[in-house]
Structure 1
Amino acid sequence: MTASDTPATGPLAGLRVVELGQLLAGPFCGQMLGDLGADVVKIEDPATGDPLRQWGRQLPQGQSLWWSVVGRNKRSVTLNLRDPECQELARTLIAGADIVIENFRPGTMERWGLGYPALAELNPGLIMVRVSGFGQDGPYSQRAGYGAIGEAMGGLRYVVGDPSTPPSRVGISIGDTLAALFATIGALAAVREREVSGRGQMVDSAIYEAVLGVMESLVPEWQVSGYQRERTGAILPNVAPSNVYPTADGTWMLIAANQDTVFARLATAIGRPELATDPRYATHGARGERQAELDALIGEYTSTQGAEVLEATLGEHGVPAGKIFRPEDMLTDPQYLARESITEVDHPILGPVAQQNVFPKLSRTTGSIRWPGPALGEHTQAVLAEIGVDDARLASLRERKLA
């Protein structure tokens, strides 16, 4: 039995998904659905495949470790969707699907004869998930919409970084990821509604709106009171102490002790119990006014302590604290190990590859990683055979470089 024959587990087992997207926003939605048990058939261009196959800072033996994560649990089928015959094959695949995912520029699917009205005629229960920079309508819909632009337009970039520097970025593709999360929520909501109505619908997830959706009270703070949030580095203004602090061995420790009772415990932990009743620090407001002064005071203590000792001391006093983790910390941390937050997946070329597990965990029908990102076109023959394409026709498609 090959890896792709491994039976699916998880609450979405039995659900068929056809993924037409590339890079991250659409494929991450497909990854999450596949992690939870859906059968995800990914259609890729036969010439190049998903560009993510070549992405990542490290490509051991030419293999993208990023692709091993985002492509996991998917079956790869190669079809040139610019060709009418391949478009017809895609329609046949989608006619038997529950969900189709795409993240091309709006209008692309329509040009290929794969717009939602045409597909819904074949499959009235189909749920079409469309992820794009600016959504399917509006004056910006036809613009190229990368995740970074959505992060800027959604308000995130302006508030990330140190106030002394230009706006920064989060160190991951957070705009694409957020759009994929909202797309997944929308897909599952549409699946639930279909149980009532029997009808599918379109899920329209725009990157800038996904970013906007997590921006807390940013908009009403400006609209009601004229308050503009600014970049504040590692702190929230007037919330103290809550910052990263140095340790004697060069590790950064995050301490969050801004609540009055917790601050009192922190004061005791660092050998300064009198700070809890000192009028300069006794209340939330007072600590906020002297935030930099208080952070310097705490940093003087933490810089004399090794990270392990400091974390243990703070834990004994009930002070929320934790090291700033890097991958080497994650691979040995007892909490990670106990919950199997990181697992090893057998890669056919690289051997065991550590990667994040399936989240969230369900108590009865948890998902699983059945195989890493597959080779380009690895499942073309098997999947097309399921819709009646024989070996002779497949050979013809391949000869014409269409599959």
Structure 2
Amino acid sequence: MKLLWKLLRCHLSPAQLVGFALAGVVGMTILLTSWQAYRDIRPLLTAPDAIMQGDFLVLSKRVGALQTLGLGSTDFAPAEIADLEAQPFVRAVGAFTPADYRIAGSVGAGGMRFSTYLFFESVPDRFLDIRPGEWHYEAGSREVPIIIPRNYVNLYNYGFARSQGLPQLSEGLFRRVGIDLEIEGDGRRENFRGRIVGLSNRLNTILVPESFIRWSNERFGRGEARRNPARVIVETAGPVDAAVTEYLAARGYEIEGDVRDGGKVARMLRLAAGGVAGIGLLFSVMAVYVLMLSLFLVLQRSSDRVRDLLLIGYAPRQVARPYVRLALGLNCAVTAVALAAVWAVRSAYLPLLGPLQEGYLPAAMWPTLLCGAALCGLMVLFDAAAVRRRIARLRPDVRPGRRGA
């Protein structure tokens, strides 16, 4: 073995090995850093209301001339809801259930009393963006919990209150405002007390618990609430992209409010991550190629001596062993340096991620270590197979006698 190593060493090119080492370190560092950074950033992207999370879409149908004349319907048929649920981008579908009776509400502020007609709706609890502890209703209770849109508070504070000379109210004080409710329907008229328990950023409607809607519709309703829903809320599996909007437009569905442009951002993030990983993979492939080229040049320069070794009885596997060990040592060294570089880069960017999310926990680094070890093993196996194949081609046609190594 010492003879073989001396033969190999006298034909090595330090410049080629340095080129392999540099390309290998750069490529593996980029590849592993992009993988580790993706895993560290993923908790920020998958948190509630993050850009990579799914959207909640409130869908309705366009109102045309036929609907205005009473010749068409804007309700969602069961088949249409089933078709929505079957779409790959849909995680869940919920229906809005409206109150089927007349509601009058009144509230006092600044010595003045205001009255208006109201409307109530309910949705399944999983579609709410807040979960107040008081969100429950027992049949027959005179107190009704209510969730209102947050923009109602802004409209009052920055529109109505300023124009009428009324005091502005904080969100905390706004929740303490009680609303006197008068519900009339089916020959009954009863009074209730509405209590604001939360402000919603997601749903632009006045929400009450489903249990109250079911009980009150049975008591005051005219039976119209049993009709098909006119609006549905859809939770998507990911950001809305062009395919989703095309599907909705083809069926005449309208999305209420503005949909965040998460689809384009998500595609840009995926393209950026893929581009960085692709560059790292390219450098890694170049490094493997440089090492193979170096080993092949060494074999080419010492081809006559390799044939002599094979003639005197050395097996191709024995002749290839020092080349394989060289590839193993170099790849292990490159992987170790690359993992150290990944740790250094990670230590630099982790302090920037912590303030972005309360209680942020970065991903573990052991999967990246395993990935680096696996890449190292694959490169060594590839180099070993290529070297052995090259030496087998140098084997002379005359079958040599056996000789101990």
Fold match by TM threshold 0.5: no
Q: TM-score range by the shorter chain?
A: under 0.3
Q: Which has the higher helix share?
A: 2
Larger radius of gyration: 2
Q: Which has the higher contact order (CA 8 A, sep 6+)?
A: 2
TM-score by length of 1: 0.20
